[in-house]
Amino acid sequence: MLSGVASPRQPVPTSRPVDQMSDSYRLGRVLLFVMGCVVFDTTDFLDKGGKARYLLPLIPVVAACSILLARRGNVIRRPRRTDKILFLLMLIGLAGAIYGTLFRGTQSTTLPVFFPMLVAFTYLTALEPPSEVEVRKLLRGLVWVGLLYTFMNAVANTGVLPSIFAAKVYRNSKVFFIFMGIAAAILARRRVMLAFAVILALFVFATYPSGTDVVVVLVTAMTYWMTKPRSSRGRPLVIIGLGLAIFIFALVNLSSTTSIANSYFGSVGKRSNTTTRLALWQAGLDRFKQSPIYGSGFSGEITVLVYRQAGYRAPFKAPFHDDYIMLLAAGGVIGFGLAAWWVAATEAEILRRYRGFLSNGRIQSANMLRVLLIAFNVFCVSALLNPELSGAARGTCLFAIYALMMSLGVPRPSADLERWRGSTASRAAAPS
């Protein structure tokens, strides 16, 4: 086959020797490098640094293109349903962002939301699934990424280096790194690193207690429990249903939820910003009501002018502090529906692959998916309370997580995978 799309069940043979690293592993290392760049971004430049911030998602895109060009032909993996949903959302979003910039004079465009989505499709160029040894190395890489971020966050919270660490750069918006690192250390059995990660995480939460932390701890525990090996197939449905029920109950009883949040912030000695968040959310919902079907077509502003308290202090512009409200305001039911569909379809796809890896004895691949699913879920839940996608670097990390999960491939027994690699190497060594 010289061109086209590879079947998800039968990888396209290549001429790679058995002892050479797979292209999925090479791409995975690039994705880990990108996450590392975000970890050490002490000034938030990669999130908000003008046009230069778009160079970060181009790193894995260039790596994916080099993988494709190094191979004979232009074969890629067959896109999954999740890829198609995200691709449609990306096309609509990019078209709206470009239109808003060129014809509406939009300043805070949706380009940081949609441009990093290109990273999600980089795995399609990597045909060779990683071996269990390679997956174990990538898993250990996730341990280091999470531990280093937690360390940087702890140092920033001490306030000893204010000239190096920009204000709020290590706060709620990147908390998924902490839980990803702890989960990876547990499953990779790196006990010393786990101890350091837990101690540093406790220091981080003690020095900067937030409502987001409470929520994501719960989400992490629920995800870890629902992916427990040998659990029933219905457990994920029960956990997801319970989570949705809690969210709907909190939303319906918003006044009580707000009161509990204020009490929590008072007990930990932290000023509550609930009033500000509610004002931002209400402004986003008001925009949604003006055009509920397609919003602004992703061509409008993703910041809004609000007052912290009516009649007090000067107004200020800020993101909606809820990515789902942002999607409703900017893309209406269409934009929000595509995003929610992608999240739900990805959850179902990864859980199916996780069970498949467990049943096929590919424990390292199953552990990798478990860790990445925790990070994915924490990110998606954090987006309920923070403007995650409006930061180009954070969005790049989300879609790097997705690419890593999908690059592991469709579950197949390890023995079959090694036989395929062996036959590939034999064909490559045979005289033409």
With left for phi above 0 and alpha for psi between -120 and 50, is residue 391 left, alpha or beta? Answer: beta
**pLDDT given at position 158:** 87
317 - beta bridge partners?
Answer: 305
Q: Which amino acid is at 71?
A: R
What are the tens digits of pLDDT across the range 251-278?
A: 555 555 555 555 555 555 555 566 777 8
Query: Phi, psi at residue 85, to the nearest 5°?
Result: -65, -50
**Which one, of 273, 333, 268, 343, lies nearest residue 297 by Cα?**
333
Buried/exposed code over 7-34 (b: 16+ C-beta within 10 A; e: otherwise): eeeebbbbebeeeebbbbbbbbbbbbeb
Whether this prediction's pTM lies above 0.85 is answered by yes
Nearest-Å Rg of the Cα atoms of the chain is 22
Task: With H, G, I as helix, E, B as strand and everything else as coil, classify residue 266.
Answer: helix
Query: Phi, psi at residue 256, to the nearest 5°?
Result: -70, -40
pLDDT(427) > 60: no
Alpha carbons 356 and 349: distance in angstroms, whole number:
11
The residues, ordered by sequence, that sit 6+ positions from 333 with a Cβ below 8 Å of its Cβ are: 292, 293, 294
* Tokens describing residue 75: 């074969």
pLDDT(96) > 90: yes
What are the tens digits of pLDDT across the range 116-148?
A: 999 999 999 999 889 999 999 999 999 999 999
**pLDDT given at position 51:** 85
312 - beta bridge partners?
Answer: 309
What are the tens digits of pLDDT across the range 177-234?
A: 999 999 999 999 999 999 999 999 999 988 887 778 888 898 898 899 889 887 666 7
Average pLDDT on 326-353 reads 95
Q: Torsion angle of alpha carbons 316, 43, 60, 122, nearest 10°?
A: -30
**pLDDT given at position 6:** 58
C-alpha torsion sign, points 182, 184, 189, 192: negative
375 within 8 A of 179, measured Cβ to Cβ: yes
**Distance in angstroms between the alpha carbons of the first and the last residue of the chain:** 17
Average pLDDT, the chain: 84
pLDDT(308) > 70: no
**Which one, of 410, 366, 388, lies nearest residue 188 by Cα?**
366
Residue 429's pLDDT band, with cuts at 50, 70 and 90, is: very low
pLDDT(21) > 90: no
Pick 316 or 44 by higher pLDDT: 44
The residues, ordered by sequence, that sit 6+ positions from 39 with a Cβ below 8 Å of its Cβ are: 145, 148, 149, 152, 177
383 within 8 A of 322, measured Cβ to Cβ: yes
Pick 165 or 387 by higher pLDDT: 387
